[in-house]
Amino acid sequence: MSLLFEPITIGTATLRNRIALPPMVRFAPPMSPEITNTGGEITDRVIEHYRQRAAGMGMITVEATCIDPGGRTWANGLNAHADEHLPGLARLAAAIRAEGCLACVQIVHGGPHASTELVGQTVGPSAVRPSPSAPLPRELTLAEIGAIRQRFVEGADRVVRAGFQAVDLHGAHGYLLDSFLSAARNQRTDIYGGDIAGRVRLMAETCAQVVAAVGSRALVGCRFSLFNKQPGEIGLEETRVVVNALAAAGLDFLDLSSGGVFKPWFGESRGIGQWVKSLTDLPVIVAGDLVTPQDAERALAEGHGDVTAIGRAALSDPQWAEHARATLEPR
């Protein structure tokens, strides 16, 4: 048996293989309008989109699902900020589970990357634009930070009540939790700023509160990314602090968006996934330019991760997992 099709136990759940669909929005690669233009509703076509991929994979992580109306990023994005979203979420979770696949969902607050058309004023750790052309976010107060942490807890509880078996907090790609991690964008002088221990605090505290709320009912993980930071912001010691803080939050797994699984980091030949795995005993899901079955098998064999997340390739080919088995385990 290939490594890719070996089962793996994460927390209280066992995945039938080591293939996951990472949280990917439904506009890349280009998809038909009936899948993309849903106004945030979970339609039959959206459910079928995920069901097809769940048929062969070990884990599906549903795209970034917003837990606060003030943090929406995309008009067609999914939502979990009110109980009115429960019926659609329940139908989606049930369809994934029915295929023998672990049903996970990513929860998000867009922060500086929220859509001004949807939320008006964006917010962030500091009044620093995420890019020169981006709107200027308003700095969050301590009270607002606490309220957003509670929104994550409520959103996590809601998706678990809907039947999802795992929750993945979005701490990557410049969205709210990740924006606090960036020294360039986080210029706070309170406990949520300063050195890396302060900048990771919000992400770790939010994870810990979600674990306390739903950890007895579902797996909890956190997606994070380091490749999108400014040069010099993240070294090996900073990586160690981030990984240790997330592990101490009581998570069941880490979800690493690598920016390229096989790219060398910290001046050595090892990739960032190999570094992260050397710092923790938690299972690591790794994503980043894994396209072919051979890519995924290599990533596992070289210790870049414990589960491979296949993004754009699986969006293009709903039967990627089945085709991978035929390639790696021909009869």
Supply the pLDDT for residue 314.
96
Q: How far is CA 269 from the centre of its chain?
A: 26
Ordered per-residue pLDDT tens for the chain, 331 residues: 899 999 999 999 999 999 999 999 887 667 888 899 999 999 999 999 999 999 999 999 999 999 999 999 999 999 999 999 999 999 999 999 999 999 999 999 999 999 999 999 999 999 999 999 999 999 999 999 999 999 999 999 999 999 999 999 999 999 999 999 999 999 999 999 999 999 999 999 999 999 999 999 999 999 999 998 888 889 999 999 999 999 999 999 999 999 999 999 999 999 999 999 999 999 999 999 999 999 999 999 999 999 999 999 999 999 999 999 999 999 8
Q: How far apart are CA 105 and CA 60, in angstroms?
A: 8
The CATH architecture to which 3-328 belongs is: Alpha-Beta Barrel (3.20)
Taking Cα atoms as reference points, which of 288, 195, 208, 202 lies closest to residue 237? 195
pLDDT digits (tens, 9 = 90+) for 118-162: 999 999 999 999 999 999 999 999 999 999 999 999 999 999 999
What one-character-per-residue DSSP string does 11-28 give?
TTEEESSSEEE----TTS
pLDDT of residue 25: 86
Side-chain-facing half-sphere of 187: CA atoms under 13 Å: 10
Q: 3-class SS at 68?
A: coil
Q: HSE on the CB side for 316, CA within 13 Å?
A: 8
> What three-state secondary structure class fits 1?
coil
Whose structure tokens read 């790794």?
A: 286
Report helix, strand or coil for 325: helix
Q: How many Å apart are CA 270 and CA 211, to the nearest integer?
A: 31
DSSP, collapsed to helix, strand or coil, labels residue 81 as: coil
C-alpha–C-alpha distance, residues 165 and 252, integer Å: 12
**CA dist., res. 135 & res. 115, Å (int):** 9
Query: For the chain, what percentages of helix, strand and coil (3-state, to nearest 5) are there?
Result: 40, 15, 45
Asked whether the beta carbons of 60 and 103 are under 8 A apart, the reply is yes
User: In this predicted model, what pLDDT tens digit does every residue of 159-198 receive, in sequence order?
Assistant: 999 999 999 999 999 999 999 999 999 999 999 999 999 9
